[in-house]
Amino acid sequence: MADGVKPRVRVPDEAKAGEVIQIKTLISHPMESGQRRDDDGNLIPRSIINRFTVEFEGESVIDVAMEPAISSNPYFEFEATVPSSGSFVFTWYDDDGDVYTEEKTVTVA
């Protein structure tokens, strides 16, 4: 697996019903494009996160197909409406088959 991969997510702990909240996510990852060569002229194999999804209680919030031109440590910021208390599940899919997940619970007062 790629080294030093660590997902990070920022979601407010609490929200009002129907409130639009801001979500920030970042995963540390080299996002090796597969286009570069090492010092000996050999192609460095592609190794990227190719898909990022967010679900809220089983419902898809976003689903992103990611391509090799995306820079290292991909960062996503987006808004979501929270209808009720529940959990966001964040999932990153690595080229090498690894899947990284993170879960955050939001309480609707």
One of 33, 53, 73, 85 touching other proteins (CB under 8 A): 73
Dist. CA 50–CA 56, nearest whole Å = 21
Does 36 bind other proteins (CB under 8 A)? Our answer is no
Dist. CA 17–CA 83, nearest whole Å = 5
Does 13 bind other proteins (CB under 8 A)? Our answer is no
Please identify, using beta-carbon distances, which residue of 15 and 25 lies nearer to other proteins. Answer: 25
Does 4 bind other proteins (CB under 8 A)? Our answer is yes
Neighbouring C-beta atoms of residue 80, cutoff 10 Å: 18
Query: What DSSP string describes 47-85?
Result: B-EEEEEEEETTEEEEEEE--TTSPSS-EEEEEEEE-SS
Stretch that binds other proteins, among 24-32, 42-50, 55-63, 94-102 (CB under 8 A): 24-32
Both tokens of residue 98?
């690894």
51, 62 contact by CB (below 8 A) = no
Stretch that binds other proteins, among 35-43, 56-64, 67-75, 92-100 (CB under 8 A): 67-75
Min. distance of Cβ 94 from other proteins in angstroms? 17
Binding site for other proteins (CB under 8 A): 4, 6, 8, 10, 24, 26, 28, 71-73, 75
